Amino acid sequence: MRLSASDINDLEKRYRAALINSLSGFKPANLIGTANAQGQTNLAVISSVVHLGSNPPLFGMVQRPPVVPRHTYENILETGVYTVNHIHETIHEQAHQTSARFARDESEFDATGLTPSFVDGFAAPFVAESKIRFGMRLVRDVAIEENGTRFLIGKVEWIDIAEELLAEDGYLNIEKAGSLAITGLDGYHRSEMIGRLPYAKKDQPLQRLEDPMKGFK
Amino acid sequence: MRLSASDINDLEKRYRAALINSLSGFKPANLIGTANAQGQTNLAVISSVVHLGSNPPLFGMVQRPPVVPRHTYENILETGVYTVNHIHETIHEQAHQTSARFARDESEFDATGLTPSFVDGFAAPFVAESKIRFGMRLVRDVAIEENGTRFLIGKVEWIDIAEELLAEDGYLNIEKAGSLAITGLDGYHRSEMIGRLPYAKKDQPLQRLEDPMKGFK
């Protein structure tokens, strides 16, 4: 079936949100950890972290329009830092529950039972239960004028990972960590690896890598 | 294990690229279809399409620095349009092969055996083998000064999907379509749904949705 721009425009609001949120494919399931200047912690599910570059190590993420209080966004502006923490199957219900409407003085850590931990000198808490977490410093807050969202560009300040997840070529086996993917607004999925494919070369057949932990030479 | 900013900076270049590309979690596996003003088609794997908003329906995507010829980016600037096509397990080897270095006058469609199709009046080809594809019009080309990449903001012009994938609330069952997730630079994964979780409410336990095709009321 084909929908035109006007068909899409005419869709009921929540139906359209579900459809458009599903369109781009699987999304990374992460928790963003922040604190305000007074140390009040906050935790929020986000599915929009996107790789911008490896040297320097940069990621972007989308924040919804700050027309109502947005604790994560406000905290990042206050302290300049945030953490990204993978959501695994073992914690995904607690992670999802952070999206309920908590007050400014309630911590989603307390409300969901997830455990805040800190890296010395870094104001934002990370999630102790997550096996892959990293600290980010805000580099630039880009206004997306088209709809009022913000695109936050951040630089990786530290990485904290379980060593057994790391392949010999730097590839991180996030499937082994039990990390999840999100579809639409509310679908959670585990993964099953098909394989790693080598750097593609013209006129050369692909050779699949059977053991993802080995890495390509 | 913990890596500091200087540890990360000291990593061997390809090792760092593999690690940083793995960090953010699962990424959507898409093919970007474009054509230049003369109608020469191009197809490229991309894992950075990100949802910006549903009303208007906007997505961003990251393009690497245009310091060498970037056919996809050049074509989008020439025609103003592109398509996003889900990569399924059935076509993922062909899709990956599009990342080999083809010349400007070679089409990745011809080289990989994927089939270009067109929507009337829309210059960019879509992939006939893909079950979820949509047409985008470039709205804004944002320079990411920090590393020379471009963040392209586009608006959905049309959507073409297999009707049986659509749940009653607008959720699209991309797992049923066999769409894939990417990890790092080269890992391909199928998915297994855990469930859909309802809109979270404070002090209310979560109720999992067993049939994703039904949708929440």
> pLDDT of A74-86, one tens digit each?
999 999 999 999 9
pLDDT at B181 over 90: yes
Mean pLDDT of chain B: 94
In chain A, residues with a C-beta closer than 8 Å to the C-beta of B51 are 20-21, 23-24, 27, 47-48, 62
For residue A47, give every residue at least 6 positions away whose Cβ sits within 8 Å of its Cβ, in sequence order, or none: A27, A28, A29, A30, A182, B51
Region A156-172: mean pLDDT is: 96
φ, ψ dihedrals at B189, nearest 5°: -135, 135
8 A C-beta contact, residue B191 and residue A26: yes
The residues pairing with B188 across neighbouring beta strands, listed in sequence order, are A195, B182
Question: Which of A50, A55, A184 comes nearest B13 by C-beta?
Answer: A55
Region A99-103: mean pLDDT is: 89
Interatomic CA distance for residues A94 and B22, integer angstroms: 24
pLDDT for the residue numbered B217: 64
pLDDT for the residue numbered A209: 77
Interatomic CA distance for residues A53 and A155, integer angstroms: 10
Test B172 with A19 for CB contact under 8 angstroms. Answer: yes
pLDDT for the residue numbered A217: 64
Taken in order A74, A79, A81, A87, the sign of the CA dihedral is: negative
Q: How confident is the model at residue A162 (pLDDT cuts 50, 70, 90)?
A: very high
Region A120-146: mean pLDDT is: 98
Test A98 with B26 for CB contact under 8 angstroms. Answer: no
Q: How confident is the model at residue B210 (pLDDT cuts 50, 70, 90)?
A: confident
Structure tokens at B166: 């659509």
pLDDT for the residue numbered B66: 80
Interatomic CA distance for residues B5 and A119, integer angstroms: 13
Question: Which of A155, A184, A188 comes nearest B194 by C-beta?
Answer: A188
Interatomic CA distance for residues A29 and B187, integer angstroms: 17
Give A163 to chain B, closest Cα distance, Å.
6
Region A62-80: mean pLDDT is: 91
Q: How confident is the model at residue A199 (pLDDT cuts 50, 70, 90)?
A: confident
Instruction: Report DSSP state, residue A16.
Output: H
Q: Name which of A7, A16, A23, A89 to mutate to probe chain B: the one with the most chain B Cβ atoms within 10 A of its Cβ.
A: A23
Region A186-205: mean pLDDT is: 90
Interatomic CA distance for residues B217 and A102, integer angstroms: 23
Region A154-164: mean pLDDT is: 97
Mean pLDDT of chain A: 94
A-B Cβ pairs (cutoff 8 Å, strict): 373
pTM over the 0.90 mark: yes
Interatomic CA distance for residues A102 and A109, integer angstroms: 11
Kindly report, residue by residue over B129-174, the tens digit of the pLDDT: 999 999 999 999 999 999 999 999 999 999 999 999 999 999 999 9
pLDDT at A1 over 90: yes
Interatomic CA distance for residues A84 and A157, integer angstroms: 11
Kindly report, residue by residue over B80-128, the tens digit of the pLDDT: 999 999 999 999 999 999 998 898 889 999 999 999 999 999 999 999 9
Q: How confident is the model at residue A211 (pLDDT cuts 50, 70, 90)?
A: confident
Region A114-123: mean pLDDT is: 98
Give B79 to chain A, closest Cα distance, Å.
18
pLDDT for the residue numbered B138: 98
φ, ψ dihedrals at B13, nearest 5°: -55, -50
φ, ψ dihedrals at A209, nearest 5°: -95, 115
CB atoms within 10 A of CB A13: 10
pLDDT at A39 over 90: yes
In chain B, residues with a C-beta closer than 8 Å to the C-beta of A126 are none
pLDDT at B205 over 90: no
Test A156 with B5 for CB contact under 8 angstroms. Answer: yes
In chain B, residues with a C-beta closer than 8 Å to the C-beta of A179 are 25-26
Task: Output the CA angle A31-A34-A36, nearest 5 degrees.
Answer: 155
Among B133, B48, B31, which residue's Cα sits nearest to residue B91?
B31
Instruction: Report DSSP state, residue B166.
Output: B
Q: How confident is the model at residue A32 (pLDDT cuts 50, 70, 90)?
A: very high
Worst-scoring range by mean pLDDT, A84-88, A170-174, A201-205?
Answer: A201-205
Percent of chain A with pLDDT over 90: 84
Q: How confident is the model at residue B214 (pLDDT cuts 50, 70, 90)?
A: confident
Kindly report, residue by residue over B28-77, the tens digit of the pLDDT: 999 999 999 999 999 999 999 999 999 999 999 999 988 777 899 999 99
Interatomic CA distance for residues A2 and B131, integer angstroms: 12
pLDDT for the residue numbered B65: 87
Test B56 with A89 for CB contact under 8 angstroms. Answer: no
Question: Which of A49, A192, A197 comes nearest B25 by C-beta?
Answer: A49
